[in-house]
Structure formats: C-alpha cells, structure tokens
Amino acid sequence: MSTPRKRIHFISLGCPKNRVDTEVMLGVAHQAGCDLESDPERAEYIVVNTCGFIGPAKEESIDTILAMGRLKEGGSCEKLVVTGCLSQRYSGDLAEEMPEVDHFLGSSDMLRLKDVLEGGAERMLVGNPADYTVRASDPRVLSQGRHSAYLKIAEGCNRTCSFCAIPMIRGKQRSRGIDDVVEEARRLAAEGVLELNLVSQDTVAYGRDRDEKPDLATLVERLGEVDGLRWIRLHYLYPETLDARLVELIASHPKVVKYVDMPLQHASDAMLRRMKRGHGGARLRRVVETVRTRIPGVTFRTAFIVGHPGETDEDFVELCDFVRWAEFDRVGVFRYSDEEGTKSETFDAKVRAKESAARHRKLMAVQRPIARRRNKALIGTRVEVLVDGASEEHEFVLQGRHAGQAPEIDGVVYLSGAEVRAGTIVQADITQSADYDLVGEVVLEEGAPLPMTPKKKRVSLRVTG
C-alpha cells in the first residue's frame, strides 16, 4: 500500500512580498508530495511565514506561532516550521523561547523547506538573505485564485530610511533580470492569471543594481507584451522624480492600470529629514501634482507613519493639511515602533504611545471623508470589474475589484444581477458607495444568455462616521 500523503498548513503574515514567498513554499511542498490542508488541526506540518517589520506585526507573528504550537499537544501537528522576517532577525531568541518550534528558516530560505519535508534537517536553517533572489524556475503555487498574482521583481533594499529594518532583514537590493521576470509572467498568464501586481521593497529602483542597468519602464513594456495579461499594477514606488516613460505607460498603456502606490511616510520637512528620506515636502507636492495631472483618472495610494521620534504637533498638523490637499484615494497609517538596529531607535524626543494612537485616529478621520467622496463620485459610472468569486460578507452576492482596487489591500465591489464565474472581467454599473467599498450591477453583454439561477440580493453598505 502507498504511504499516505502528508498534509501541510500554511499561514502567511505581513505584506504581499511575504505572500509570494509563501507561494514558493507551497510549490516546494507540492513537489514533495504534500497535500495543502486548510484546517491546521488536521495538518501534520504547519508553516508560519512571519512578518517582523513593525511592533504589531511582530506581536501577531508571535501570537500565531504560540497558537500553532499548542496544536502539537492536541492536534495532528508533527512539525512546526517558522520562517520569514521575524525568524531571520531573531532566530536565536525564538529558538530559546519556543522549544515547540521544530525548524526555523529565514527570509530567503523558502527552498530549504524541502530539507524539512524530506526529514533529517537541522533545526536552524536560517541563511544569509543576500544569497537568494527569487527566480522563474522556483516552484510556486498561487494562493489567491488563478486569475490574480503578485510578482516579485527584486529582493532587498538600498535605501537608508532611519526607521526601517528591511535592509538588515532582507539585504541589499537584488533585481531580477527582465527575461526572468517575463518568463514567470508568461507562465502565470498561461495558468490563467489576468492581473499581475508588481512588488518589491523599492520598485522604482528596479534594475539599478544590475550591470546592464535595466529600468522599470522597460520591464513594464516587456510585461505588456505578454499574451493573456489584462491588468498590470505597480506597488511600492519610492517618491522620487518619476521617469517620463513610466508615467506615460501608467497613463496610456492598455494593460497598465492607472494606479500608483507610493508610500510617502510624512510631509513635514523636519520629519522627512529625521526619517532620512532624502527629500522634503516640496518634492512630494511636485510628485503628487505630476501624478494627478499626467495620469488622468489615477488611483493614488500612499502610507504614512505617525509618532516617529521628534514628531511635533506642528509636524502632525502639516501632515494632516497635506493629506487634505492631496486628496489621496487610499491612505494607510502606521504607528511608529522602535526597531532594533535602526537609526530612529537611537533618537530622543520619543512620542508617547497614547499620543501616537491619537494621531493615528485623527489622520484616518481626515482621510475617511476624502475616500468616501472619491468613491461616491463613481456612482452612476460603468467600470470594468474583475470577479474574485462569492462574497464572504453578503450571501448570494459576488465580489470583485475595479482596476483601482488592489487584491486584499483596497476595498471591493459587491456585484449582483448575474452569476459570473471567478476570473471574469465584466462591466458593472456602480449604484452605491461607502468609505472603501462599492456596489454594482453586472451589465450583461447584448445577446448574452440570462443567468441560469439569478440569485440576486440587494446589498446595502453601511457608511461609518
């Protein structure tokens, strides 16, 4: 009789870059003959891919590891594996404090999961992150549906932002070659991927570390030639003067969506200096104006840090005024936390946690009506929506996203009026809006057959605040 296949459960925490790493490990597990198990209580192997970027992410990672460790007592778990940024950074401490963890892998050791699954591997498998860059030849299994994927174009970062530990965790920037990225994109498109989301720690700096000096615009042009792809979206653009070719591609290329994700972090000159961002508020205003004027209809997403050491009330007011002026479509706000080994950790003039939390609430309150107003402007318009599948929030309703909504980051469009399979791009008339989500009615093409079972339920969105 054949040996039963081992069941493996994955938990991926943190950013989309981590998701790509998890999908590579899924590919490794598949090649090793494991079956993916959605219930951790039924799995023989549990892999937790951790995030170590900021304090709350670390806490979530540790809580998750402890919860999964308890399953070794009463569940089927035989091996608990911890990987990712947290184990890269604190492997020694974690190994001492968490004897229930059987193996530790670092932020670039995804392929070494094979050693664990084959048996006989050492407990500590944390290597040098600079020794690895993801490749098209790496095994990978998508985890968010076959029609959408994140594509990592580089590892590491060369910036020296005072608050950020990523260069210590992930190493210096290592860009993939254009041909290798395109090869992976072709394979993903052949598997049914319509939407490709380009990610790295510093996407706008793609190629600068390579001898042949490829640039992001050339990479995007090449990806635009891949048959089958419909949407290409760019994430994590550093706020520097954008290449004119790249701006033009975002503005006019039929496959490049009008979406700019650019973490600005602050707007005050004093804070940008302390953060060592390499520019002041004037540049940020020029960049925002360039994006708004040269890419009509663009969706602009950004992120800010509040409570960084030295942030005064005046600095924060300037940040709020900047957000009101820029009218971003999406804003993420993070509370500063000291990160071991960073320059900001050594700064004085720490902001009290209570004040940092209050500033977080205030800035989100500034942004909320802006997001609500920009969403409301879409009522009465017809947009393309990529259907993701059945809604988890509203029974008998589908959900999808228009081009200005990145997967699992932005809001969604709830759809009614027809049954459409996941991975289909449809036209939808927007009928309702809230702070982040929309409601639309699917528009059937002329002559298209009516849905077999028109399970239609009205959706009513609650508007907060």
How much is the mean pLDDT over the chain?
Answer: 92
Dig out the tokens for 52 from the structure. 């170590």
DSSP structure string for 123-165 = SEE---GGG----TTS----SS-TTEEEEE-EES-----TT--
Q: Report pLDDT digits (tens) over 352-392.
A: 999 999 999 999 999 999 999 999 999 999 999 999 999 88
Specify the CATH number of the domain 148-376.
3.80.30.20
Return the exposure string of 86-97: e unless at least 16 CB atoms fall within 10 Å of the residue's CB, then b: bbbbbbeebbee
**pLDDT given at position 451:** 47
How sure is the predictor about 281, in pLDDT bands with cuts at 50, 70 and 90?
very high
The rounded distance, in Å, linking the Cα atoms of 25 and 11 is 11
- Which residue stretches of 295-405 are H helix? 313-326, 353-376
pLDDT band at 241 (very low <50, low <70, confident <90, very high): confident
- Environment class of residue 108 by beta-carbon count within 10 Å: exposed (0-12), middle (13-18) or buried (19+)? buried
Q: Which residues have C-beta within 8 Å of that of residue 452, sequence separation ≥ 6?
A: 419
- The whole-number pLDDT of residue 460 equals 45
Residue % of the chain over a pLDDT of 90? 85
Work out the average pLDDT over 272-294. Answer: 96
Domain residue extents for the chain? 7-131, 148-376, 382-443
The predicted model gives 326-334 an average pLDDT of 97
As a whole number of angstroms, the distance between CA 7 and CA 37 comes to 6
Per residue in 182-207, pLDDT (tens digit) is: 999 999 999 999 999 999 999 999 99
Confidence category of residue 454, pLDDT binned at 50, 70, 90: very low
Of 61, 66, 63, nearest in space to 50 by CA: 61
Q: What is the mean pLDDT of residues 261-279?
A: 96
| Residue scoring higher pLDDT (444 or 282) | 282
Distance CA 393, CA 414 (A): 9
* pLDDT computed for residue 220 by the predictor: 98
What secondary structure, in 3-state letters, does 264-317 show? Answer: CECCCHHHHHHCCCCCCHHHHHHHHHHHHHHCCCCEEEEEEEECCCCCCHHHHH
Residues in the chain, how many?
Answer: 465
7-131: in CATH 1.10.645.10: no
User: What are the tens digits of pLDDT across the range 102-157?
Assistant: 999 999 999 999 999 999 899 999 999 989 999 999 999 998 888 999 999 999 99
Phi/psi of residue 240, nearest 5 degrees: -120, 175
Say which CATH superfamily domain 382-443 falls into.
Answer: Nucleic acid-binding proteins (2.40.50.140)
Helices (H), 166-262: 166-170, 178-190, 216-223, 244-252
Q: How many percent of the chain have pLDDT more than 70?
A: 95
pLDDT band with cut points at 50, 70 and 90 for residue 52: confident
Rounded to an integer, the average pLDDT of 316-336 is 97
Residue 166 has pLDDT above 70, yes or no: yes
396 has a pLDDT exceeding 80:
no
Q: Does residue 458 have a pLDDT over 70?
A: no
pLDDT at residue 2, rounded to an integer: 54
Question: Per-residue pLDDT for 461 more than 80?
Answer: no
pLDDT at 353: 96
Q: What is the pLDDT of residues 61-96, one digit of tens each?
A: 999 999 999 988 877 899 999 999 999 999 999 999
Q: Which residues pair with 105 in a beta bridge?
A: 125
Q: Which residue has the tokens 């072709």?
A: 186
Phi/psi zone of residue 182: left (φ > 0), alpha (ψ -120 to 50 degrees), beta?
alpha
Above 60 in pLDDT, residue 1? no
In this prediction, residue 153 carries a pLDDT of 98
Q: How far is CA 461 from the centre of its chain?
A: 25
Given a cut of 50, whether residue 462 has pLDDT beyond it is no
Average pLDDT over residues 26-38: 94
CB 274 within 8 A of CB 314: no
